[in-house]
Amino acid sequence: MKTLVIASQKGGVAKTTTTTEMAIAATSAGLATAIIDTDPQATSCFWAEARGRNDIAVASVFPALLPSKLTALEEAGCDLAIIDTPAVSKDTASAAMRHADLVLIPTKPAAFDLKSMLETIEQAQSLGKPYAIMLTMCAPLHGPELNATLARMADLHHEICPVLIHQYVAYPRAQKHGLSVQELDPGGKAAAEMRQLYAYMCRRVGIEAGLLAAPAAA
């Protein structure tokens, strides 16, 4: 089993969106996938409630129980566990990162977000975990902020996910109904970037991406 952790000390950077989208992409590719929600706001769990189907395992788990729950998932035959973490909780993020095969760090291309990002990177580095910075909420028309952020990250020599995640309206529309953009609008730009992100994640954690067929439209 591989474990993907989505972490950022900053809130509102699309952690849960990334979690649910990666879960749908992995499930669609035939992987047995589970979401572990360690966020007290339980947004992933609310998404699962809105979804109203039993096709993705989503559960709220106390950080202290992560080792035993991950073992139980592995014994049950799970291929990929995705851990959604809360903002502003270094302890929870660290507890999750300890089990990570990859830490994805969503970050908005904005000055304050970059500061929080560096703190999250330090956590991953101190635990010796592979990580990647992922730029999210990018304006569909790339402005100077994005280029400045990319240049700054290149200077810092951090691993950067080559897939940019944009602020498309498809994301909130899909979440409202407990869907992914890959289900809501399989042919859309948001779905395309999520499939690319999934392929990148698979390469990094050592999963064969398998079939990346777009899920059936909802």
Partner 1 sequence: MPLPTKPSKPDAISMMAALKPAPLAAVPNSPTTKPIAKPKSGARVGTCQCRPFSEGDAEGAEARHRRGGNDTAGAA
Stretch that binds partner 1, among 48-56, 178-186, 195-203, 204-212 (CB under 8 A): 48-56
Compute the distance between CA of residue 53 and CA of residue 206 in angstroms, rounded to an integer. Answer: 29
Torsion region of 136: left, alpha or beta (phi above 0 gives left; psi -120 to 50 gives alpha): beta
Query: Residue 73 Cβ, how far from partner 1 at the closest point, in Å?
Result: 5
Assess 90 for contact with partner 1 (CB under 8 A).
no
Buried b (16+ CB within 10 A) or exposed e, 176-211: eebbbbbbbbbebebbbbbbbbbbbbbebeebebee
Compute the distance between CA of residue 18 and CA of residue 73 in angstroms, rounded to an integer. Answer: 21
Assess 110 for contact with partner 1 (CB under 8 A).
no
Binds partner 1 by CB under 8 A, chosen from 24, 36, 100, 201: 36
| Beta carbon nearer to partner 1, 39 or 79 | 79
Q: What angle do CA 183, 184, 185 make, to 5 degrees?
A: 95
State the DSSP H helix or E strand holding residue 15, giving kind and residue range, or none if neither. helix 15-28
| Beta carbon nearer to partner 1, 36 or 160 | 36
Closest CA to 163 of 131, 139, 198: 198
Residue pair 62/34 in contact (Cβ under 8 Å)? The answer is no
Judged by CB under 8 A, the chain residues 56 through 85 that form the site for partner 1 are 56-59, 61, 69, 72-73, 75-79
Query: Residue 142 Cβ, how far from partner 1 at the closest point, in Å?
Result: 38
Query: Residue 143 Cβ, how far from partner 1 at the closest point, in Å?
Result: 41
| Beta carbon nearer to partner 1, 77 or 206 | 77
Compute the distance between CA of residue 39 and CA of residue 67 in angstroms, rounded to an integer. Answer: 16
Query: Residue 37 Cβ, how far from partner 1 at the closest point, in Å?
Result: 10
Assess 55 for contact with partner 1 (CB under 8 A).
yes
Assess 40 for contact with partner 1 (CB under 8 A).
no
Assess 209 for contact with partner 1 (CB under 8 A).
no
User: Applying CB under 8 A, which residues contact partner 1?
Assistant: 30-32, 34, 36, 54-59, 61, 69, 72-73, 75-79
